[in-house]
Amino acid sequence: MRGQIQKWGNSLALRIPKRLAQEAGLGQSMAVELRVEGGQIVITPLRPARYQLDELLAGIGPGQLHGETDWGKPQGQEEW
């Protein structure tokens, strides 16, 4: 598949056809890593980090534990 590089402001832009983007798992506004390897541009999608709850909880120290705050009686439809 061929493409054409166009000027976009002070940069260059390359449109990625929909089919190619879908095959690569790319989507609009998705963060990607760009690098040059052997004279070729490589585009890699950046996936959000996945965390495990037990790992996150293990990182909580005494300085991050807070007591409850009394905000008074429920107002309007706040009551559970």
- The structure's pTM equals 0.54
Total structural domains within the chain: 1
Tens of pLDDT along the chain (80 residues)? Answer: 899 999 999 999 999 999 999 999 999 999 999 999 999 999 999 988 889 999 999 999 988 888 899 988 888 888 76
CA gap 56, 53 in Å, rounded: 5
First and final CA of the chain: distance in angstroms?
A: 58
User: Which residue range forms the structural domain that includes residue 10?
Assistant: 5-57
Q: Which residues contact 2 (CB under 8 A, 6 or more apart)?
A: none
The CATH number of residue 17's host domain is 2.10.260.10
